[in-house]
Amino acid sequence: MSESKKENKAFSIIERRGIFYPAFDAYNASSGFYDYGAIGLRIMRGIEGAWRNIFIDEMGATEIQTTDIVPEIVLKASGHVSTFTDPVIGCKTCKSSFRADKLLEEYYDKKHDKEGLAALRKFDKKAMQAKITEYKIRCQRCGGELQGIEDVNLMFKTHLGHGTDNVAYLRPETAQGIFVDFKNLFRIYGLKLPAAIAQSGKAYRNEISPRQQLVRMREFHQMETEIFFDPADEQKRFNSIDLDALLSKEISFVYRGGKESTETLGALLKNGRIPNKLFALCVYMEAKLLDTIGIPKNVYRFREVEKEELPHYSKGNVDLEISTSYGWIEVSGNAYRTDWDLSQHAKLSGKEITVLSNGKKITPHVVEASIGLDRLLISLLDNAVQEGKDRGWEWLNLNESVAPYKYAVFPLQKDEKLESAAANLQARLSENRVASYYSVSGSIGKRYAKSDEIGVPYAITVDFQSLEDGTVTVRDRDTAKQARTKIGDVK
């Protein structure tokens, strides 16, 4: 069993129920790729649906879908061709490659060296090489000597057409499609600043050492929202949202250097940790998303990213982190991208990307909320696992918004009349678009265990009394208690 399997609390449920699993497993193909099974996909759609309710419907972002394959010029403009790199170190003996910063991170983690971890965020290549030599860190495959850190670009490269040198890449983030389309969308939809454009879709990075299942993948899913605004404006509202009303929201916050405290968004705005109210809106909405899908407040926090860690486009980042059995993982990056992307696309395309604001032509600035769906899903599962010692099986404490089904429907036993009544109930629920599943195989206890295991909130049993008085038992997953209810009241 690999390290990551042991570390993930939800691992046995994930494996047993095929929530997700390594892609192309039969061929022992490359790591970093995962397929989702039926249950995993339903949970994922639930999370994505909650994101859509909050960022699109409530906040009022315009959702679009842009292509996964991006011509090189676009990513030259965005800076990804020249700077989207990781520091990679090679083994002199077996030629394996590793991310230098991750080797050091593991080293400090094992030693529980918090200061080392904090210092690592500021290391350049030279400092990393010096520490790898000082700590005698060796190749994880063959024990050979590691040397020569190089910056390696993480994008997957391809060519458009055959026999051409027309280079393109799989998109490393969904955001660039939004930036390139911005001016047209602004005109077509008659948008006014501040305006948000969002998309949910795949991103691709040729990670040097994919690991920890969905935490570091080569193909993953992002849900990104870009808010365009005029930096000269005082931001008071965003669509129907009064921005000042959000500022009393308290969050757990980690300052640069590691000091952690509970702060209001207003205080963070005042002390400059959050650059403006629209950035505060991104953080507010992310906290709302976590509350909605049932991630407890005490397992998430926002962290001010060290200056040395900032992406090339950012003037300030605050990451959303969730505590998991892998440690704190970054689930979202909130960034103040300024006018970097729009100005760069204007420069390389030769087309003006300006809009009118207060009677003046301006290049809007951007704040971004970039959420990783797979990381959010694995964090949710990891935090939802209940040992279930009292009932004899592990189960997932998922709330209704993300549970794969609301109901499990069971005839008490194989019996034509019971099966027909249960099937009718399930058909009625399906017609009303209430997600449920039907099962008649195995003992009722085993069926309860199976529905608890995947986090189904209620299990309905149709028994012989149901045939007489039209009632069923409804078993609550969390308490394991049952109550009789009229079949017509199951909705």
Burial class (CB in 10 A: 0-12, 13-18, 19+), 119: middle
Pick the binder of ligand GAP from 72, 173, 304, 382 (CB under 6 A).
173
CA-to-CA distance for 27 and 250, rounded, in angstroms? 49
- For 205-216, letters b (16+ CB in 10 Å) and e give bbbbbbbbbbbb
Q: Which residues lie below 8 Å from residue 93, measured CB to CB, with a gap of 6+? A: 139, 142, 144, 145
Q: Which is nearer to ligand GAP, 155 or 462 (CB)?
A: 155
Q: Does 362 bind ligand GAP (CB under 6 A)?
A: no
**475 token code pair:** 């078993």
CA-to-CA distance for 213 and 381, rounded, in angstroms? 12
Q: Which is nearer to ligand GAP, 333 or 411 (CB)?
A: 333
Q: Does 263 bind ligand GAP (CB under 6 A)?
A: no
DSSP string across 232-299: TSPP-EETTEEGGGGTT-EEEEE-TTS-EEEEEHHHHHHTTSS-SHHHHHHHHHHHHHHHHHT--GGG
Nearest distance, CB of residue 28 and ligand GAP, angstroms? 21
Residues 427, 420 contacting (CB under 8 angstroms): no
Name the segment binding ligand GAP (CB under 6 A); options: 101-109, 122-130, 366-374, 434-442.
Answer: 366-374
Q: Which residue has the tokens 């990891």?
A: 382
> Which H helix or E strand runs over 56?
none
Q: Which residue is nearest to ligand GAP (CB)?
A: 372
Q: Which residues pair with 321 in a beta bridge?
A: 301, 330
Q: Does 370 bind ligand GAP (CB under 6 A)?
A: yes
Q: Which is nearer to ligand GAP, 201 or 231 (CB)?
A: 201
Nearest distance, CB of residue 333 and ligand GAP, angstroms? 3
Question: Which amino acid, residue 420?
Answer: S
Q: Does 171 bind ligand GAP (CB under 6 A)?
A: no
Pick the binder of ligand GAP from 291, 330, 400, 415 (CB under 6 A).
330
Pick the binder of ligand GAP from 90, 372, 411, 457 (CB under 6 A).
372
Q: Which is nearer to ligand GAP, 235 or 314 (CB)?
A: 314
Q: Which is nearer to ligand GAP, 172 or 411 (CB)?
A: 172
Q: Which residues pair with 86 in a beta bridge?
A: 152
Q: Which is nearer to ligand GAP, 47 or 425 (CB)?
A: 47
Residues in contact with ligand GAP, shown as a per-residue x/- string from 192 to 221 under the rule CB under 6 A: -------------x-x--------xx--x-
Q: Does 331 bind ligand GAP (CB under 6 A)?
A: yes
Q: Which residues contact ligand GAP by CB under 6 A? A: 173, 175, 205, 207, 216-217, 220, 222, 224, 330-333, 368, 370, 372, 374-375
